[in-house]
Structure 1
Amino acid sequence: MSLFMDIHHVEGGVKAGDVAAAHEKDLSTQSEFGVNYVKYWVDEEAGKIFCLVDAPDAEAANAVHAKAHGLVADEIYPISAEG
């Protein structure tokens, strides 16, 4: 498993409550793909969502979003927990 940070860009902003609901759907879907969504952060005004995910690969992480609610990440980066 590897850590990834995914980034979503939502035109016009986003509401934290909507992101929380989508995250709950991720949590109920993630085991099917061997993924663990660890934490997320929201910048409502900028329309940015950041998700920290432990996954076998970036495709598996995005597959959870796709199946759970259809809001796949615009960007996804491998990250290191070290440091």
Structure 2
Amino acid sequence: MDVHRMEGGVSATDVAKAHRADLATQDQYGVRYQRYWVDEHEGRVFCLVDAPGAETGMRVHREAHGLVADEIYEVTEHS
């Protein structure tokens, strides 16, 4: 899970565009951006990604749109 902090807020439309760019870039690195959440007012974006490692996930962001995460958390799914 990665977290982006955008000063001044962020629009869901812009985040959707960036996510589509991630999807177009991810396959060549064995990465899968699965879901994302947006807090437009606070300028926070949270991305759930399945990647071989944190740097590989960041590489996709960097190449797709240049917006790298401020924080990365390794998480596992439980129910």
Shorter-chain TM-score bucket reads over 0.9
1:6 to 2, 8, 12: 2
2:15 corresponds in structure 1 to 19
Please give the alpha-carbon distance, in whole angstroms, between the structure 2 residues aligned to 1:47 and 1:29. 24
- How high is the sequence identity, in percent, across the aligned residues? 59
Aligned pairs, number = 79
Provide the TM-score with structure 1 as the length reference. Answer: 0.93
Unaligned 5+ segments in structure 1 are none
Please give the alpha-carbon distance, in whole angstroms, between the structure 2 residues aligned to 1:61 and 1:79. 14
Q: Which has the higher strand share?
A: 1
The SS at the match of 1:52 is strand
Unaligned 5+ segments in structure 2 are none
Provide the TM-score with structure 2 as the length reference. Answer: 0.98
Over aligned residues, Cα RMSD in angstroms? 0.5
Moved over 2 A (4+): none
